[in-house]
Amino acid sequence: MISQLSWKIGGQQGEGVESTDRIFSTALNRLGYYLYGYRHFSSRIKGGHTNNKIRISTKPMRAISDDLDILVAFDQETIDLNAYELRTGGVVVADAKFNPTLPEGIDARLFPVPITSIAEDLGTSLMKNMVASGASWALLGLPLEVFNKAVEEEFGRKGPAIVEKNVEAVKRGADFVLELAGGPLEDFRLEEADGKQKLFTIGNENIGLGCVAAGARLMAAYPITPASEIMEYLIKKLPKFGGTVVQTEDEIAAVTMAIGANYAGVRTLTASAGPGLALMMEAIGLAGMTETPLVIVDTQRGGPSTGLPTKQEQSDLNAMVYGTHGEIPKVVIAPASIEDCFYDTIEAFNVAEQYQVPVIIMTDLQLSLGKQSCEALDYDQIKIERGKLVKDAPPLEDNKLFKRYEFTEDGISPRVLPGEKYGLHHVTGVEHDQEGRPSENSVNRLKMMDKRLNKLNNLYIRDGLRIDAPHETPDLLIVGMGSTGGTIDEARLRLEKDGLSTNHITVRQIHPFPTEQLTPYLEKAKQVLVIENNATAQLASQIKMHAGYGEKIRNLLKYDGNPFLPSDVYKACKELN
Amino acid sequence: MATFKDFRNNVKPNWCPGCGDFSIQAAIQRAAANVGLEPESLAVISGIGCSGRISGYINAYGLHGIHGRALPIAQGVKLANRELTVIASGGDGDGFAIGMGHTVHAIRRNLDITYIVMDNQIYGLTKGQTSPRSAEGFKTKSTPEGSIESTLSPLEIAMSAGATFVAQSFSSDLKQLTSLIEAGLNHKGFSLINVFSPCVTFNKVNTYDWFKENIVNLEQFPDYDSSNRVAAMNKIMETNGLLTGLIYQNKERKPYEELVSGFRPEGLANQDIQLSREDFEKLVAEFK
Ligand SMILES: Cc1ncc(C[n+]2csc(CCOP(=O)(O)OP(=O)(O)O)c2C)c(N)n1
Ligand code: SF4
Ligand SMILES: [Mg+2]
């Protein structure tokens, strides 16, 4: 019996790769397995090789595996491109239609199944996905009833005849492959899972849910990979809560519309990727200067320019931290797990209102789009904190305006919303006095700058650093961010077996940088390895700039468009020691 | 009930003496009072330029944003609280150069906002460069030999973008301007009011006298039907855009707010945002 396994389905974009994966993993999820998915796709909608890979495990496992156990191929190209990943003794289930062959030197079992012709026999080649997933399921020796339940759920709306056809497709795929293989593969028998169905979702949807929970009721956005799922989720959900999503003409409109809506009192977000973030920069400065709460999600993808729009990267850190002209307070939060995507979104809205600043939620493509198991989300942790928002302000002295930018001890001023009877004030991106009126007075200027820039002095979000430090003085401290945590932890297990002691810190509060909290761990580590998906070591630069320890810090960088594999991390750590 | 004086504040505008923008400020204040607004129920969102300062000179909620983005900000405000009356305002550069994309799409979207453009055919604040509204051959600091680009017709663009309210006025004609702003405020949907507002400092061609000589008032055409889209377009072309009055109004089309699925009549900002446990559980269950 094995406790984990990797499965991949590949073919041409648009021929059912996604749906095969969806139905197969939904059924696995019903059995209680932990799943972690990775989508390899390109910007084309039809045509071009695409594949989805999932990790199936009895324990939480949040990394793509180094190798592959089962490859399901809709075409020869899938085999040619992916066979090298197969472990010795792996399996290829391929459509018999194209007379599949294995490349030379690949030691795997090949099961040609007439996927297309079974589907066509049943009426439509669209059912290829059922045949393929049914065959995969049967090879693993998993209970067919559970799979059929999943099929029923997927097609129930379309009526019993459709369900029946699909169930039949599954059965024929299963029967055919079992005949070829002589029964389920004994070496691929998974230990039983806990039977508890997990949440199975993507980061973008958890962000969407986090928005609804946080009380966000408006979103303004312009579509872009890999952010669009957030708006697509919210346009389905917000109307029920009185809100809506506006697809704007560009990201400048999106962010400024969000600023207007936040100014008027509705928690509003925008979401984009690097190209859109670049367009938002001037407006982010306006939010900072006018102390207007604002939440922006940046789902990072391969840059620069259009770069690798459907590939993994973490290269917008500098843009998020330094972007916009002049100097403003700003927060950058980097969720590091699927659950974080939910909780951090709520926190982002709270921080934005409590500190009256723009907050950027930084994800990366793998975290935003990789479908994976998610722990139960806790309703009781949803807290809406609106900071110094004043309702029913008392009357003001004659001709006086509300001191929207009043100097206070913590630099945060009371805020009223338009519509408030005694709250009139002015808001401008021009330097202004306490009532918001333009002012070039240099004494006022200094006080206002200091007020704004010192607001975040004491900010430390929930798990600003996620610390896993079992060793007092580890051989190695590994530091990462975003989606890389699971990969790093998997490599650490192997390193521990080799006798190398490691601590792992995930930086979740990217800006303002949590220097004080990180320093003791840097101090005690013999060496530090900073792991990030970019070419210029942007996270490592933050650490060196704020905390020092440059002499101990080494980099592991990957910017070929692919997420790190556990073996990448393992090798890099071994090479250091 | 508020009077126009309640919309005055004690801030002295930094416009040059004689600038057309003064009358526009006065007209907004009068119109606001005439349609029965209270200062706290009005939000004036403006862009950057000499004209953009307007939001600071009216006693109401005001936001002076960034160059060219008054409209998306204003739309955000309106979406967040449809109980507010929202006026967006700015210069011809603000709305028809850097912000042109937003202007067209705000027109298409048709949220209930009144957009007042203070059109002086030049960039005032940056001290006299050409604008999309400058005439061909117009000499400015950035076009020393005269502008060689065609003049943009915001009225025609608005019409073709599906505008539901298009008007034009002249800042000297306080009476007409005030009544057009009132009509814009009363219109349910997006209203564009382009106002010729002479820049006495940098535009020595399109002066008060020049406008008096060249513009025609639609009142001269008693048969003019402002609900006829074709007639409106023809009139704009016939007069080369130098006309004033209510050019077009479509009272049939509903504003955006009324078309958004699930949108309630009370301002979103005033609604409860707490998610119930039951709704939360339902949403989470979809991830299973
Ligand atoms: C992004 C950006 N680019 C340029 C400027 C400089 N700028 C300020 S106002 C303005 C144009 C002003 O012309 P207009 O909008 O017609 O207003 P007016 O001053 O004539 O009322 C320019 C170019 C700016 N503030 N922001
Ligand atoms: S420069 Fe022109 S537009 Fe600006 S205030 Fe002076 S007259 Fe008015
Ligand atoms: Mg101008």
Query: With a 6 A CB cut-off, is B59 part of the ligand 1 pocket?
Result: no
Contact status, residue A502 vs residue A570, Cβ threshold 8 Å: no
Among A255, A246, A243, which Cα is nearest to A294's? A255
**Interface probe with A: pick from B7, B38, B50, B73, most Cβ of A within 10 Å:** B73
A286/B287 CB distance under 8 A: no
> In the structure encoding, which two tokens stand for residue A361, read together?
């939620």
CA distance A111 to A100: 9
Ligand nearest to the CA of B125: 1
- Specify the range with the lowest mean pLDDT, choosing from A392-406, A522-536, B217-231: A392-406
Tens of pLDDT along A130-154? 999 999 999 999 999 999 999 998 8
Give A93's strand partners: A72, A111
- Contact flag A256-B261 (C-beta cutoff 8 Å): no
Do the chains contact at B260 and A244, CB–CB below 8 Å?
yes
CB A336 within 8 A of CB A506: yes
Q: HEC string of chain B?
A: CCCHHHHECCCCCCCCCCCCHHHHHHHHHHHHHHCCCCHHHEEEEECCCCHHHHHHHECCEEEECCCCCHHHHHHHHHHHCCCCEEEEEEEHHHHHHHCHHHHHHHHHHCCCCEEEEEECCCECCCCCECCCCCCCCCCECCECCCCCCCCCCHHHHHHHCCCCEEEEEECCCHHHHHHHHHHHHHCCCCEEEEEECCCCCCCCCCCHHHHHHHCEEHHHCCCCCCCCHHHHHHHHHHCCCCEEEEEEECCCCCCHHHHCCCCCCCCHHHCCCCCCHHHHHHHHHCCC
Distances from the Cα of A101 to the Cα of A90, A112, A173, B42, angstroms: 14, 9, 20, 72
* CB-ligand 1 contact for B129 (6 Å cutoff): no
Percent of chain A residues past pLDDT 90, beyond the cut: 95
Q: Which of A346, A319, A344 is nearest to A216 (CA)?
A: A346
Chain B residues with beta carbon closer than 8 angstroms to that of A241: 262, 273, 275, 279
Cα B279 to Cα B275: distance, rounded to the nearest angstrom: 7
Among candidate residues A150, A181, A197, the one where a domain is terminated: A197
| Residue A368 and residue A225 share a domain | yes
Number of independent structural domains in chain A: 3
Query: Same domain for A275 and A170?
Result: no
Of B41, B64, B101, the CB nearest to A249: B101
Q: Is B119 in the pocket of ligand 1 (CB under 6 A)?
A: no
Please tell me the residue having the least CA distance from ligand 2 atom 2: B199
- Of B197, B196, B163, B169, residue with least CA distance to B182: B169
Q: Could you read off the pLDDT of A505-550 as tens digits, one per residue?
A: 999 999 999 999 999 999 999 999 999 999 999 999 999 999 999 9
Let me know: does A273 contact A301? Beta carbons within 8 Å: yes
**Are both A127 and A219 inside the same structural domain?**
no
The answer to whether residue A452 is domain-embedded is no
- CATH class of the structural domain B4-285: alpha beta
Interface-testing mutation among A234, A263, A350, A374, with chain B (most B C-beta atoms within 10 A): A263
What's the N-to-C CA distance of chain A in angstroms? 34
Chain B contact present for A264, CB below 8 A: yes
Whether pTM > 0.80 for this model: the answer is yes
Q: Which residues of B touch A346 (CB under 8 A)?
A: none
Question: Residue A45: pLDDT band by 50, 70, 90 thresholds?
Answer: confident
Smallest CA-to-CA distance from A318 within A94, A532, A10 is with: A532
Find the ligand nearest to B68 CA.
1
- Which residue range forms the structural domain that includes residue A552? 465-576
What share of chain B in percent tops pLDDT 70? 100
Alpha-carbon distance of A517 to B288, in angstroms, equals: 37
107-146 in chain B: CB under 8 A from chain A = 109
- What's the first-to-final CA gap in chain B, in angstroms? 56
Residues from chain A contacting residue B58 (CB–CB below 8 Å)? none
Q: Which residues surround ligand 3, an ion (CB under 5 A)?
A: B 91-92, 120
Determine the average pLDDT of the residues in B114-131.
98
Phi, psi of A88 (to 5 degrees): -60, 130
Nearest CA to ligand 1 atom 8: B49
Under 8 Å between Cβ of B126 and B92: no
**A198, A237, A268 ranked by CB distance to B76: nearest:** A268
Query: Each residue of A416-471: pLDDT tens digit?
Result: 999 999 999 999 999 999 999 999 999 999 999 999 999 999 999 999 999 999 99
Report whether residue B128 contacts ligand 1, using a CB cutoff of 6 Å: no
Q: Is residue A131 part of a domain?
A: yes
Q: Name the band, by pLDDT with cuts 50, 70 and 90, for residue A330.
A: very high
- The residue-averaged pLDDT of A262-291 equals 98
Render A283-339 in DSSP notation, one character per residue. Answer: HHHHHHHHT--EEEEEEE-B-STT-BTTS-----HHHHHH-SSS----EEE---SHH
Q: Whose CA is nearest to atom 5 of ligand 1?
A: B67
Mean pLDDT of A471-489: 97
Q: How many CA atoms lie within 13 A of A479 on its CB side?
A: 27
Q: Which of B79, B87, B276 has the highest number of chain A CBs within 10 A, making it the mutation to test binding with A?
A: B79
Cβ atoms of A416 and A290 closer than 8 Å? no
Closest approach of chain B CAs to the CA of A220, in angstroms? 9
- Where does a domain end: A359, A381, A403? A381
The two three-digit tokens of residue B286, written as one number: 């979809």
**Residue with token string 């220097």:** A515
CA distance A53 to A45: 19
Residues A70 and A163 in one domain: yes
Position A83: which residue type? A
Q: How far apart (Å, rounded) are the C-alpha atoms in residues A487 and B174?
A: 70
B94 CB within 6 A, ligand 1: yes
Is residue B92 in contact with ligand 1, taking CB distance under 6 Å?
yes
* Whether A353 and A499 share a structural domain: no
Mutation probe of ligand 2 site: the residue of B14, B24, B50 with most atoms within 8 A of C-beta = B50
Q: Pick the ligand that lies closest to the CA of residue B19.
A: 2
- A422 domain-assigned: no
Q: Are A539 and A557 spatial neighbours (Cβ–Cβ below 8 Å)?
A: no
Distance (angstroms) between ligand 2 centre and the Cα of B201 equals: 6
Mean pLDDT value across chain A: 96
What's the CA angle centered on A402, arms A400 and A404, to 5 degrees?
140
SS3 category, A36: strand
Cross-chain Cβ contact B79/A248 below 8 Å: no
Do the beta carbons of residue A35 and residue A55 sit within 8 Å? yes
What is the residue whose two structure tokens read 């048969």?
Answer: B223
Write the Ramachandran bin of A4: left for phi over 0, alpha for psi from -120 to 50, otherwise beta. Answer: beta
Give the C-alpha separation, B94 to B67, whole Å. 6
Out of A197, A232, A248, pick the residue that ends a domain: A197
The pLDDT tens digits for B254-279 are: 999 999 999 999 999 999 999 999 99
Contact A273, A312 (CB under 8 A): no
The Cα A218–Cα A269 span in angstroms is 7
| Structure tokens belonging to residue B123 | 């960039």
Residue A399 lies in a domain: no
Tokens, residue B16: 């040059």
Report pLDDT for A41.
85
In this prediction, residue A113 carries a pLDDT of 97
Q: Is A175 in the same domain as A207? A: no
Residue B185 clears pLDDT 90, i.e. is over it: yes
Q: Report which of A40, A51, A39, A65 is spatially closest to residue A11, judged by C-alpha positions.
A: A51
Are residues A139 and A270 part of one domain?
no
Residue of chain B minimizing CA distance to A241 = B262
Residues A33 and A155 in one domain: yes
Q: Which of A400, A420, A399 is nearest to B5 (CA)?
A: A399
For residue A290, the chain B residues in CB contact (below 8 A) are 63
In a domain, A412, yes or no: no
Same domain, A190 and A310: no
**Beta-carbon separation of A243 and B268 below 8 A:** yes
Verify that A83 and A153 share a domain, yes or no: yes
Question: Residue A360 has what pLDDT?
Answer: 99
The answer to whether residue A541 is domain-embedded is yes
In this structure, the answer to whether residues A359 and A231 fall within a common structural domain is yes
With a CB cutoff of 8 Å and minimum separation 6, the contacts of A541 are none
DSSP annotation string for A155-194: HGGG-HHHHHHHHHHHHHHHHHHHHHHTSS-GGGPBPP--
CA–CA dist A141, B267 (Å, integer):
57
Q: Exposed (0-12), middle (13-18) or buried (19+): which is A29, by Cβ within 10 Å?
A: buried
List ligand 2's pocket residues with C-beta within 6 A. B 15-16, 19, 21, 50, 120, 124, 199-202
CATH of the domain at A470: 3.40.50.920
SS3 A559: coil
Q: In this model, does residue A397 exceed pLDDT 90?
A: no
Cβ(B164)–Cβ(B189) under 8 Å?
yes
- Residue spans of the domains in chain B: they are 4-285
Query: Within this chain, do residues A252 and A160 fall inside the same structural domain, yes or no?
Result: no
Q: Tell me the pLDDT tens digit for each residue of B30-89.
A: 999 999 999 999 999 999 999 999 999 999 999 999 999 999 999 999 999 999 999 999
